[in-house]
Amino acid sequence: MATIMTRSLPAWPGSAAVLADHPLAPLTTFGVGGSADHFAAPESTPDLIALLDAAHAAAIPITVLGEGSNVLIGDAGIRGLTIHNRVVTLEAIPANAVRAGSGVLMGRLAAWSAERGLAGLEFGVGIPGSLGGSVFGNAGCFGVEIKDVLIETNIWHDGAQSRLSNAELVFAYRHSALQALSGTPVVLDAILQAVPDGSEAIRARMTELSRQRRTTQPANPSAGSVFRNPPDDHAGRLIEAAGLKGTRCGNAQISDRHANFITNRGGATAADVAALIHRARAAVADQFNIQLETEIRFIGEGFGASP
Ligand SMILES: Cc1cc2nc3c(=O)[nH]c(=O)nc-3n(C[C@H](O)[C@H](O)[C@H](O)COP(=O)(O)OP(=O)(O)OC[C@H]3O[C@@H](n4cnc5c(N)ncnc54)[C@H](O)[C@@H]3O)c2cc1C
């Protein structure tokens, strides 16, 4: 689809190619969504910062994507520059800590740390996302969240860089202070605290955690849990109790295995997924007087009639 930019484009700096009208669905775990007007996949922090600075200076909207495992991208795609973060540096630093680039996959972070006898990051095997996306949303599973291991992070925000401590990120359930900032705050890297342990013991725990995941989650493409759990309850339980398990809209389906997952059965659109989200939220509000909030982030344009 041809797109029209209303602002003149900067001469993009750095070594990452900037592509026009680039498809984004393959870069998400849902496999849904349109194209980016402009797209780059920087592999180094200087390239990432140079792109952010250039877009900011030209007042071009910026969207950052990690592994695309917690987003629903609209069928009409994303205006401005979309950055697919490929900064995957890893470094062991004193006092059993790890400094990682924000594009590192959480599972890779766990495996790399295990090889070095660094424990505590095993929960990463359950999160098919990047470190940056996980800091943004305080991702967690198996009783551990990013907030439990993060010491500090470097971020870019509105053309300036700063270092934020764990306390400054004001982490809560699937929340960080980054979500409340205007503009596009971007996690550049983070330092995580590990504890020493034997590599074999750590790997054994990771294998067991992965096995648990496989037995409870649907295999079809999804973006994980669609809704945050309301206080003292589970969104999946409520959606199932509302009788919606297995409900389909086009090629999207409320999973018949875990009702807080919506799966793409092949060829689903963002409008299909959004319609199911709308339906689940309305049914739970009607029947239980509980307002469900989405955990997944809606990005871009084109969600049909049910945003
Ligand atoms: C099968 C499956 C199981 C899952 N299980 C879990 C689970 O157990 N626990 C859990 O917490 N999550 C889970 N998720 C959701 C998802 O993996 C996490 O939310 C993950 O942290 C998202 O990371 P990402 O890189 O994919 O982010 P993306 O989906 O790419 O982006 C999500 C949001 O983070 C922002 N973002 C991405 N990178 C950065 C950055 N560098 N700086 C600032 N903002 C950024 C994006 O702009 C967007 O708003 C699951 C997903 C799937 C598909």
The residue ranges of every structural domain in the chain are: 19-84, 90-216, 235-299
Q: What is the pLDDT of residue 177?
A: 98
Q: What per-residue confidence (pLDDT) applies to 12?
A: 86
Q: Which of 43, 3, 8 is nearest to 23 (CA)?
A: 3
Task: Give phi and psi for 236, each to the nearest 5.
Answer: -60, -40
CATH class, 19-84 region: alpha beta
CB contact at 8 A, 128 and 99:
no
Which of 76, 73, 88, 2 is closest to 43 using CA atoms? Answer: 88
pLDDT at 1 > cutoff 50: no
pLDDT, mean of residues 15-43? 96
Q: Alpha-carbon torsion 45, 53, 185, 24, what sign?
A: negative
Ligand 1 atom showing the smallest separation from residue 188 Cα: 41
**Residues, the chain, total?**
307
For residue 165, the CA-to-ligand 1 centroid distance in Å is 20
- The whole-angstrom separation of Cα 148 and Cα 55 is 33
For 141-162, letters b (16+ CB in 10 Å) and e give bbebbbbebbebbbbbbeeeee
**Rounded-to-integer distance, Cα 20 and Cα 3, Å:** 9
**Residue 128 near ligand 1, beta carbon < 6 Å:** yes
- Give the model's confidence band at 305: pLDDT under 50 very low, under 70 low, under 90 confident, else very high: confident
% pLDDT > 70, the chain: 96
Q: Is 141 in the pocket of ligand 1 (CB under 6 A)?
A: yes
Ligand 1 atom with the shortest distance to the CA of 139: 11
Architecture (CATH level 2) of domain 90-216? 2-Layer Sandwich (3.30)
Residue 213 pLDDT level (bands cut at 50, 70, 90)? confident
Q: Is the CB of 131 under 6 A from ligand 1?
A: no
**pLDDT classification of 219: cutoffs 50, 70, 90:** confident
pTM confidence score:
0.96
Give the atom of ligand 1 at the shortest distance from the alpha carbon of 174.
11
Residue whose CA lies nearest to ligand 1 atom number 40 = 132
pLDDT tens sequence across 49-105:
999 999 999 999 999 999 999 999 999 999 999 999 999 999 999 999 999 999 999
Reduce the DSSP state of residue 109 to 3 states and report it: helix
Query: 41, 53, 51, 31: which is closest to 85 by C-alpha?
Result: 41
Centre of ligand 1 to C-alpha 200, Å, is 28
Q: What is the pLDDT of residues 246-282, one digit of tens each?
A: 999 999 999 999 999 999 999 999 999 999 999 999 9
Pocket residue to mutate for ligand 1, from 85, 127, 146, 299, most atoms within 8 A of Cβ: 127
With a cut of 80, say whether residue 307 has pLDDT above it: no
Looking at residue 11, its pLDDT comes to: 84
* Sign of the dihedral defined by the CA atoms of residues 291, 297, 301, 302, in that order: negative
Query: In sequence order, which residues have a C-beta less than 8 Å from that of residue 191 and are 6 or more positions away?
Result: 93, 97, 98, 99, 100, 150, 151, 152, 153
For the segment 22-38, the average pLDDT, to the nearest whole number, is: 98
CA distance linking residue 249 with residue 201, whole number of Å:
44
116 and 97 Cβ atoms separated by less than 8 Å? no
Which of the residues 205, 225, 240, 255 is marked catalytic?
Answer: 225
Question: Strand pairing partners for 227?
Answer: 294
| 2: pLDDT strictly greater than 50 | no
pLDDT of the residue at 258? 93
Query: Residue with structure tokens 């592509």?
Result: 19
What's the fold here for domain 235-299?
3.90.78
pLDDT at 14: 86
Structure confidence at residue 214 as a pLDDT band (50, 70, 90): confident
Mean per-residue pLDDT for 145-155? Answer: 98
Q: Which residue has the higher pLDDT, 307 or 246?
A: 246
The yes-or-no answer on residue 174 being catalytic is yes
Computed over every residue of the chain, the mean pLDDT equals 95
What's CA 181's distance to the chain center, in Å?
A: 17
Query: Which residues, other chains included, contact 212 with Cβ-Cβ below 8 Å and sequence gap of 6+?
Result: 142
Backbone angles phi, psi at 185, to 5 degrees: -70, 135
